[in-house]
Structures are given as structure tokens and as C-alpha cells.
Amino acid sequence: MDFYISWSHSDPIYQLYDRQCSMLISPTSITSVWQITRFPKMPYQLMIDSGGYSYVANQQPPPTPRQVFQRQIEILAKCDLPTTICTLDVPILGRTTTIIERSKAIDKTIANAWELKLLMAEYSKKKELGKQKIYSIKPMAIVQGYDIISLKYCARRLKELGYTHFGIGSLAHLYVPNEIRKRVEAVQSIVGSHVHIFGVSGIETMKLLSEVGVTSVDSTRPIKAAIYNEILYSEPYQRFGIAGSKFSQASSKFSQAKMVKELTIACPCPVCEGKVNNDLLKLGTRKHLLLRAIHNYYHLKKMISLWVE
């Protein structure tokens, strides 16, 4: 199972430390003029999201599918690397929406996917006419739904449009692994096992998804864990909090035994280099925050790779 790190402009440049770094970038996580050529080194492969989740979550009107597609191509700039672009979907968040609103969201997701097919055909035609450099991009349709029946309906319609690559959205708000598994398997029964899952944060969920044959997942877990002063280790999986961190009583994540003032584990990650690196425990500076993120990225990716048979 591939792991895509979900990246924003304030994150570490992970590919400087991992030559096989797979990266997901959303137009809403970068500036309106940012292009991938700003990287000093290219990622191994790229996925460019539509930003659909952010528009719905922040109650902002989304751009048109054409505007999203044009921005995705602008982000890619003149770089010819393996790239997946995602259709503009309409995520279904929470339980406050009505059945009618949810159905409209699914229908709009399907309609936007059809429009991207037309845009891709137009894009390919420019290649035939020699008017534009064409990049190694493949479109991915995003399956949306609020239960198994609606997910299967959306997946079936997207497959009928001719898509061969699929992602599943709106699972991040589910916190019961077995329910996530049921929904993923429902979509797989329509489009096949090779699907991408967006916004996965739980380690156990990632393991479960690997077991059902999911192709890839993306996550912001390394940087978010670093922000909340968490340090991750693999082989075996361990989490530690940094002593002195301010956790509210309601959100406390660690027992006293897991709150550390000093590390004791020699770590092979790029920032620890086989040593015990207590710089990871330093709080209040961006430099040490990014060190923790890179460290966490290394161990999260290593855990995922261990599940591949």
C-alpha cells in the first residue's frame, strides 16, 4: 500500500529525505500562484486534489470543474512526473445534511466527474494538434456517499463514465474501523480493490485498509502529531508525548508513563541518523517542529511498508 503525505506550504519538504516520497497537494493548501517547480527536488509521484473537502468544510462556494482542472495543470507547471488529478467532489460531512442535500451532493460529484472527462478529452486533443505540452496525468474519480447503498450507487455511475482509477472520500469523520471497512469493501465490490482512501489518520485504520487491498492512502498525521508534541516510533508502534506539553484534561492522550523528558530509543530516521535525538523534544521553534514531522513521517511510512506482503 502506497503512502501519500498530504502536504501544505508550511510543511517539511519530505522528498529531501525520502527519494520515493509520494505527495498529495490540494489547491486550498497552497497559495494561488504556487507551482511544483518551487521544490528543490521533485517527489517520486504526485496526486493533486480538487480542494473539494476544504470548500465544503469552510462553507465556501467551489470553483467550476474547469477552473479546478486549470489550476491543477498550473500546479504541475512544466514537470513531467507521474501525476494523478482528482475530480471536484462534494464531500458529505456530518449528519446535519438532509437526505435531499446528500443526494444532490452525490449527483453533483458525478456530474463534475463527467465534466473532467470532457476536459481531459479537450486536453488530449491539444496534444494531437501540438499546441500544448501534455503531462503524464491520469484522472481519478472520487466516490462519495453516506452509507453503503449510496456509495455503491456513486461508484457504479462513475465506473459507467469510463473511469479506471477511484478514490473514496467522506470517511475521515468515521471513527469505527469496521464501518470504514464495510464502506470500502462496498465500493471495491463495484470498482475493484485498487482504490485510494483520503484523509486517514488512525494507525489501526491504515492497517485495516492494507488488509483489504487498498492501493494507497494519504494523511497529514506526521505534521499534526508533531504540532501536538507527539513522537511516533515503529517496530513496535509506540507514541510518546513531550513532558511539559499543555493537554486539556478532556483531550489528554497520554498516561504519565508516556510523557517523556528524555528519549532512550536510537532511531534510524534521517534526522536522528541512528542516534538518540533529544532535539525532537524541544518545543516552541519551527525548526524542531519540522524535525519531529520528518521523524514521524519516517516511522509512519515504515509501519505501512511492513504490512505489504
- Residues paired with 4 in a beta bridge: 22, 218
Instruction: Give this prediction's pTM.
Output: 0.92
Those residues whose C-beta lies under 8 Å from the C-beta of residue 207, and which sit 6 or more positions away, are 307
Kindly list the averaged pLDDT for each block of 10 residues, start to end, along the chain of length 309.
95 96 96 95 96 92 96 90 96 81 96 97 75 75 96 98 95 85 97 95 90 95 95 92 71 70 94 96 95 97 68
Torsion, CA 69, CA 70, CA 71, CA 76, rounded to 10: 90
Those residues whose C-beta lies under 8 Å from the C-beta of residue 57, and which sit 6 or more positions away, are 91, 93
At residue 123, the pLDDT reads 86
At residue 309, the pLDDT reads 33
Spatial separation of the C-alpha atoms in residues 23 and 14, rounded to whole Å? 9
At residue 171, the pLDDT reads 87
pLDDT (tens digit per residue) in 43-84: 999 999 999 999 998 989 999 999 999 999 999 987 889 999
At residue 231, the pLDDT reads 96
The residue among 108, 3, 154, 305 whose CA lies nearest residue 168 is 154
The domain limits of the chain are 2-219, 224-306
At residue 148, the pLDDT reads 96
Q: Does domain 2-219 have CATH number 3.40.50.720?
A: no
Those residues whose C-beta lies under 8 Å from the C-beta of residue 233, and which sit 6 or more positions away, are 239, 240, 265, 267, 299
At residue 304, the pLDDT reads 85
Torsion, CA 116, CA 118, CA 110, CA 202, rounded to 10: -20
